[in-house]
Amino acid sequence: MTNNLDAQVRSKNKYLLDASYKPFLFATLPVELCLRILTYATGCSQATYRALLLTNKRISDLVRTEKMLEEVSVILINERQMTAFESYLKMRPEVIPHVRALWTICPGSVRRITRVCVSIINTCTNIRSLACHPHVLLESICRGSTFKHTNCTNLTIIEFRITWTTFMDASSNGAKFFHQLKRLHFIGALDHSLWATWAIIPKLDNLTHASIAMGSHRNITPSLFSQMVKSPKLQQVVITTRLHGEDQQMLSDAVQEIDERFSVIHRRRRWKESNLWHESLQDPNRFWNQAKEEKYLPPVPRPAPKNPV
């Protein structure tokens, strides 16, 4: 039995005995190049980072460094992951200062995950990029006893149905937080005119880029942006849509009437908002440059109907 197993191992790895075989000696590369490769790989996904930790001791030691940890984007998409990450932070408090990008948007009732989300956000005060539900944001950063998240400049928020006055009271942390933001992305809610009476986005001191995911909704309410366009540093506002053909063109015409800095970009139905968020961490300008390039292109044609079987 042992001989058979040995033979199988030798057969499977016989290419190693070939004189022409040369393994990729990662460790022989210049240190600067090794770190560059590992930094890129670490930022690809959590799964890639876990795989690197298990590669060998040398690589594991390298990717555990402070610089590498800061490249890892933490994406939590269900309650189980959030609870596990909360426990991990308690066991490894040295990791906390290096959590820079955090996604906590997941399907289901927000009430069920509010406590754990608030706990994680309040623990990780060095966040640069945050994605969360507005109720979570309100209970964590905006209603905290002191304002600690002074480095967060990128916010993605879903189903914004809380009055801006709740966030922007002059004495609240919410006003400080929103005025320091440079990039702001809304997923849903702003496409409903019902919310327009109190959902007018305020003028924000440092906002340079904003985007709104409207899905398949055809109408947009210009009054929502009447104050935001007065933001002194605003450069670009992008509406993402799943509309095609004439519907997309009508939406594009409508948003450009609001302000010349507005544009519409098509997103296919399989597009995930977490992809946009994660890509923006690796290449902050990619999405915005793409929107500029597509601003005056004709709309995406409507897909042909499928033939009945």
Q: Domain for residue 138, yes or no?
A: no
In the Cβ-directed half-sphere of 299, how many Cα atoms lie within 13 Å?
Answer: 18
Does 58 fall in a domain? yes
For residue 45, tell me if it sits in a domain: yes
* 52 is a domain residue: yes
- Report how many domains make up the chain: 1
**Higher model confidence: residue 59 or residue 88?**
88
- Of 44, 38, 112, the C-alpha closest to 75 is 44
Q: Is residue 60 part of a domain?
A: yes
Tokens coding 145: 């006893």
Q: How confident is the model at residue 7 (pLDDT cuts 50, 70, 90)?
A: low
Angle at 301 between CA 299 and CA 303, to 5 degrees: 145
In the chain, where do the E strands start and end?
73-75, 101-103, 129-132, 154-158, 183-187, 209-213, 236-241, 262-266
List the alpha helices (DSSP H) in 214-263. 245-258
Residue 256 domain-assigned (yes or no): no
Pick from 128, 127, 131, 120: nearest CA to 158: 131
Average pLDDT over residues 191-195: 54
34 within a domain of the structure (yes/no): yes
130 pLDDT exceeds 90? Answer: yes
Could you give the CA distance from residue 278 to residue 24 in angstroms, rounded to a whole number?
29
- The answer to whether 292 touches 284, Cβ cutoff 8 Å, is no
Residue 141 has pLDDT above 80, yes or no: yes
Q: Is the pLDDT of residue 203 over 90?
A: yes
Question: What pLDDT score does 304 carry?
Answer: 67
In this structure, is residue 185 part of a structural domain? Answer: no
Task: Give the structural domain span for 46.
Answer: 27-71
Q: Residue 223: which pLDDT band, with cuts at 50, 70 and 90?
A: confident
Instruction: Provide the total of helices (H) and of strands (E) in the chain, helices listed first.
Output: 13, 8
